[in-house]
Amino acid sequence: MAEQLNNQITILPSDASGTTHIGEQLTYHLEVYDGPLDLLLTLVIKNKIDIYDIKIADLLDQYMEQIELMRENEMDIASEFLEMASRLVYIKSAMLLPKYEEEAEDLKKELTGQLIEYQQCRAIAKMLAPMVDFDTFTKVPSKVDFDLTYNRIHDPFDISKAYVSAVGRGQRRLPPDRSAFEGIVSRKIVSVSSRIIHVMRRLWHGRTVTYKELFTASHERSELVATFLAVLELVKGKRVRIEGDGDDAIVHMIEKKEGTP
């Protein structure tokens, strides 16, 4: 007769007549694992396997021996144990094929990482186990009405200093003053097209001017740059010709001949 209680199988021997002797008991303890990782880690520690260099083939053989032992003792095997078995078989098969060697190595590293993480969790759980006390009574904290009256006394100078500091922080959140952008935004924007019209008016009706005279009416840097670019565009478009060198070079408009576009 056999009775299973608290993960132990108790065998009560009987004589030939079928009478059971209550005083004589033979007890065999079966290890119960919390999951497949617990079983794998136990095998690694028991067989002194380097957890950073696991031999999948050897570990698979020992793992399947434990599964078979559970079946022989008619223990219910959870699906997660069978899933881990298929996972080990897949890794072993992939390692035998050069085409999937890299994938197998990645799967092996993933399994190693899970075992290391589970080992750390189990060690922490062992440390916390003695702290568990089921005799302790706890209750929800009671609501307390706190007195929010400010009773501290400060020196007036400290209060003034704190106020000035708070005002300064508030000013930093305000948008910058317009004067901060005067050097960028407030400058006059001069377009190249407007300076092209200016140059053409100076040269209208066959008038000629020196190169320097084109810039006499320009006072700001933006006007000077726009005028220079306007002259380049006119020369490139064969609307204006410059003869000579330097500031005294003569600039005049090219007259279009009849029949030319």
Res 172: pLDDT: 63
pTM over cut 0.85: no
3-state secondary structure of 97: coil
- Checking 4-9 for CB contacts under 8 A at 24+ apart, the result is 7/31, 7/32, 9/73
Phi, psi (rounded to 5 degrees) for 135: -90, 0
- CA-based R_g, the chain, Å: 47
Whether the pLDDT of residue 40 is over 80: the answer is yes
Is 30:6 a contact under the CB 8 Å cutoff? Answer: no
Query: Which of the four pLDDT bands, split at 50, 70 and 90, describes residue 31?
Result: low
| H or E stretch covering 232 | helix 221-236
pLDDT tens-place string over residues 197-223: 888 888 887 778 888 888 887 777 888
| Strand ranges across the sheet with 2-5 | 2-5, 8-11, 26-29
Nearest to 61 by CA among 74, 73, 49: 49
Average pLDDT over residues 234-257: 81
According to DSSP, the β-strands at 8-11 and 208-210 are unpaired
More confident call, 117 vs 130: 117
Q: Dump pLDDT digits (tens) for 76-124.
A: 677 888 888 888 888 888 888 888 888 888 888 888 888 899 889 989 9
Domains with residue ranges and CATH for the chain: 31-131 (no CATH), 192-253 (1.10.10)
Average pLDDT for 6-31: 42
**Burial profile 238-248: b = 16 or more Cβ within 10 angstroms, e = fewer:** eebeeeeeeee
Instruction: Give the number of other Cβ atoms within 10 Å of residue 94's Cβ.
Output: 19
CA distance 230 to 198: 9
